[in-house]
Structure 1
């Protein structure tokens, strides 16, 4: 599983970091970045939750 961040949509709400801190972090501009590509085993469910809960739909799954 892979996740892509649309920086044009991201507002830096950090919901993704809340749900999957092992996969996401905010960069110096407060945009989400994926820190692990592909998503490590055991983090898929948390990553799916982060994608689903992003208030700006800035995250998408890329298989």
Structure 2
């Protein structure tokens, strides 16, 4: 399962879900769904999110077998 640290990274920047969504080019609902780990992003979207946080993708997303 793919887990993410979007909430933590977003809090570090002081951004709302709406602000992050605009920076990434998706809806606020997409960010909310990702934060709840109810949706796995495409590889391109995962890289976009990591890039706006200026972090390596592995600092934002983590894969763990279940």
Query: Normalized against structure 1, the TM-score is what?
Result: 0.46
User: Structure 1 or 2: larger helix share?
Assistant: 2
Larger Rg: 2
User: Structure 1 or 2: larger strand share?
Assistant: 1
